Amino acid sequence: MRSRFSLLIGAAALTFAGAAQAQHLRIGLAEDPDLLDPHQARTFVGRLVFTALCDKLVDIDANLKIVPRLATEWSVSEDGKTVTMKLRHGVTFHDGEKFDAAAAKFNLERALTLPESRRKSEIAAIATVDAVDDYTIRLNLKEPSSPLLSQLTDRAGMMVSPKAAKELGANLANKPVCSGPFKFVERVQNDRIVLERFANYWDKDKYHFDKVTFQPIPDATVRLANLQSGQLDMLERLLPTDIAAVKADKRLNLQAITSLGYASFSINVGNTPRANTPVGKDPRVREAIELSIDREILNQVVFNGEFTVGNQPVAPTNPFYAKTMPVPKRDVAKAKELLKAAGVPNLSFEMQVPNDTQQTQVAQVLQGMMREAGIDMKIVSIEFATALQNQTKRDYVTSLIGWSGRPDPDGNIHVFLHTGAPLDETDYSNADVDKHLDAARTTYDVAKRQEHYTKAAEQYLKDRPIIYLYHVKWLFAHSTKLAGFKASTDGMIRLENVKLQ
């Protein structure tokens, strides 16, 4: 349509180009997504595309409450070991295939068994899936699992066409066939991913775009410039330091929401050779390090005060935040005392930092604050791929890294702090913490879970294998022509009831 328009107007179109076309939404992404198959995908940015492309069994709302999508209702058995879900009628995949219990069973089994699947650990609690009737499935669990439903609000609960998946296998990623409000048209790597309206979507009245284009533009400044000059209608991950510029621009709107993730630095506290330092061995030293940091200043200097300061795996606003452990105040004198008591008044240690500009900035501010407490923190700048390898090999002393976050607190805590968990790369191990984290995972009672998470936090925040710093805010900037958009706490762009005016 765009090309025909320009052909008609000819050269005159040049001066107009960039003006928004009717109901074509152009979104600027911070990175190029990886595989476009919800079961194989690994990156955060890919989830932004899936939100428009694929539909899932359940979703979360603004208050992290689980709400129906393809599953209309669900119930958990008395013993917590079976989950029964009623499925929506009249749903079709983009290739015209029908969505029913068999399709849902196929998808969950694919997520569990496809060799390339990255969803296995997320839904490992599922032992088997039964299709009870045409529109009912039953998930038989190995043990009760309170985080399971929240996992089904993300990629693990997304449904692809069984026919296409059987035909293409792992190559489905090149030609994804889902059941979402928009269907796949084309992808040019590093350039664009184009989706168009799916005419048979079950909830199609709420979706108003004929076409949605995702354009990866890694440079934040260039991304914003594209929005300002009208090449984009919206962008994700605006730099906090650009907020003022967006607010000053009458053609732009801003949406901000605290994310589910956190930024932190991990400390190697296990028994490997590189953990054998005062920082790794002595909790007093780690406490001194934390006391030397002023999180408010960090937030002010690097993020113009726009992010949310925090000291736990979940943000202070989260219902599972341990209220008994508030953000500690900076205390340089006490930090110096602790270091003296630990016998290292002139502490010196290394921190590996991914070599991107924002992380480097954070590290330099931390370095400056620690210096005032007599701590010599050395920044070891490192490529991201190498940083990950060093962590899995335990070849680091401390490492600045974050987590994009999961709706259920289990996804932010258990996987990092439970003994031997897949991402327990600090080698932290505490029997009490393990007990509470396991208990919180296998009970559905929210009050009980809160209690367990608080008990665990009281322990691991004292041991400090990970020092939490702040919670990123998801920042979206968009043209004022775009109406109805609300930022979600998981950072996704939900296009329900969004339109261009």
Partner 1 sequence: MAVDAILDPAAPAGVVVEQSRGKRIWRRLLRRRSAVAGAVFVAFFVAVAVLAPLVSPYDPAKADWLQVRKPPSMAHWMGTDEIGRDVMARMIWGARASLLAGVVSVTIALMIGVPVGLLSGYCRGWIDHVLQRITDALLACPFLILAIALAAFLGPSLTNAMIAIGISTVPIFVRLTRGQVLAVAVEDYVEAARAIGNPHWRIALRHVFPNVVPPLLVQATLSIAAAILAEASLSFLGLGQQPPAPSWGSMLNTAKNFLAQAPWMAIWPGMAICAVVLGFNLFGDGLRDALDPKET
Partner 2 sequence: MWGYFLGRLAIAIPTLFIVTIIVFGLQHLLPGDPALALLGEDRSPEAYEQVRKQYHLDKPVPVQYAMWIGNALTGDLGASLRTKKPVADLIAEKLPVTVQLALMSMAIALLIGIPTGILSAVRRNSFWDYAANVLGLSGQSVPTFWLGIMLILLFSVRWGLLPASGYVSPFENLGDNLRAMIMPAFVLGAALAAVMMRHTRGAMLSVLRSDYVRTARAKGLNERRVVLRHALRNALIPIITLGALQLGQLLSGAVLTEQVFTIPGFGKLIVDAVFNRDYAVVQGVVLVTATAYIMLNLLADMTYFLVNPRLRG
Q: Which range of residues in 30-38, 90-98, 266-274, 460-468 is near partner 2 by CB under 8 A?
A: 30-38
Taking CB under 8 A as the criterion, the residue among 195, 267, 382, 457 binding partner 1 is 382
Q: Does 368 bind partner 1 (CB under 8 A)?
A: yes
- Which residues make Cβ contacts (< 8 Å) with residue 162, sequence separation at least 6? 97, 102, 103, 106, 107
What is the helix (H) or strand (E) element at residue 182, kind and residue range?
strand 182-188
Q: Of partner 2, partner 1, none, which one does residue 14 interact with (CB within 5 to 8 Å by kind)?
A: partner 2
Q: Of partner 1, partner 2, none, which one does residue 300 interact with (CB within 5 to 8 Å by kind)?
A: partner 1
- Which residues make Cβ contacts (< 8 Å) with residue 240, sequence separation at least 6? 302, 303, 304, 306, 307, 473, 475
Q: Does 13 bind partner 2 (CB under 8 A)?
A: yes
Taking CB under 8 A as the criterion, the residue among 1, 18, 113, 340 binding partner 2 is 18
428-457 burial, b at 16+ Cβ within 10 Å, e below that, comes to bbbeebbebbebbbbbeeeeebbbbbbbbb
- Which residues make Cβ contacts (< 8 Å) with residue 1, sequence separation at least 6? 21, 24
Nearest-angstrom CA–CA distance, 84 and 334: 55
Q: Does 2 bind partner 2 (CB under 8 A)?
A: yes
Contact between 50 and 35 (Cβ < 8 Å): no
Taking CB under 8 A as the criterion, the residue among 25, 32, 237, 479 binding partner 2 is 32
Taking CB under 8 A as the criterion, the residue among 136, 241, 443, 450 binding partner 1 is 241
Q: Which of 405, 281, 289 is nearest to 351 (CA)?
A: 289
Amino acid at 214: F
Taking CB under 8 A as the criterion, the residue among 1, 22, 23, 42 binding partner 2 is 42
388-426 burial, b at 16+ Cβ within 10 Å, e below that, comes to eebbeebebbbbbbbbbbbbbbbbbbbbbbbeebeebbb
Nearer residue to partner 1 within complex by CB, 134 or 356: 356
Q: Of partner 2, partner 1, none, which one does residue 241 interact with (CB within 5 to 8 Å by kind)?
A: partner 1
Binding mask 205-234 for partner 2 (x = CB under 8 A): ----------xxxxx-xx--xx-xxxx---
Q: Of partner 1, partner 2, none, which one does residue 43 interact with (CB within 5 to 8 Å by kind)?
A: partner 2
Nearest-angstrom CA–CA distance, 29 and 43: 12
Dihedral sign computed on CA atoms, order 435, 125, 153, 48: positive
Angle, in degrees to the nearest 10, between helices 283-291 and 332-341: 160
Within 384-423, the residues that bind partner 1 by CB under 8 A are 386
Q: Does 358 bind partner 1 (CB under 8 A)?
A: yes
CA 146 to chain centre: 19
Taking CB under 8 A as the criterion, the residue among 102, 132, 188, 446 binding partner 2 is 188
Distances (CA, A) of 167 to 41, 92, 163, 164, 172: 19, 18, 6, 5, 8
Q: Does 383 bind partner 1 (CB under 8 A)?
A: yes
Q: Does 217 bind partner 1 (CB under 8 A)?
A: no
Contact between 344 and 278 (Cβ < 8 Å): yes
Binding mask 260-299 for partner 1 (x = CB under 8 A): -------------------------------------x--
| Residue 197, beta-bridge partner list | 182
Q: Which of 403, 357, 396, 402 is nearest to 378 (CA)?
A: 396
Q: Which of 68, 253, 53 is nearest to 160 (CA)?
A: 53
Q: Of partner 2, partner 1, none, which one does residue 486 interact with (CB within 5 to 8 Å by kind)?
A: none
Within 161-180, the residues that bind partner 2 by CB under 8 A are 170-171, 173-174
Q: Which range of residues in 36-44, 337-345, 441-449, 455-463 is near partner 2 by CB under 8 A?
A: 36-44
Q: Does 191 bind partner 2 (CB under 8 A)?
A: yes
Q: Does 115 bind partner 2 (CB under 8 A)?
A: yes
Q: State the residue for tokens 């393990």.
A: 434
**3 state SS for 14-42:** HHHCCCCCCCEEEEEECCCCCCCCCCCCC
The total of other beta-carbon atoms located within 10 Å of residue 61's CB is: 12
Q: Does 376 bind partner 1 (CB under 8 A)?
A: no
Q: How far is the CB of 363 from partner 1 (least distance, A)?
A: 7
Q: Does 90 bind partner 2 (CB under 8 A)?
A: no
Q: Does 19 bind partner 2 (CB under 8 A)?
A: no
Q: Does 346 bind partner 2 (CB under 8 A)?
A: no
Q: Which of 409, 241, 428 is nearest to 315 (CA)?
A: 409
Taking CB under 8 A as the criterion, the residue among 121, 136, 355, 443 binding partner 1 is 355
Q: How far is the CB of 51 from partner 2 (least distance, A)?
A: 18
Taking CB under 8 A as the criterion, the residue among 94, 118, 183, 414 binding partner 2 is 118
Site residues, partner 1 (CB under 8 A): 219-221, 224, 239, 241-242, 244-245, 297, 300-302, 353, 355-358, 360-361, 363-365, 367-368, 379-383, 386
Site residues, partner 2 (CB under 8 A): 2-3, 6, 11, 13-14, 17-18, 32, 34-35, 42-44, 115-116, 118, 120-121, 170-171, 173-174, 188-191, 215-219, 221-222, 225-226, 228-231, 383-389, 392, 403-404, 422-423
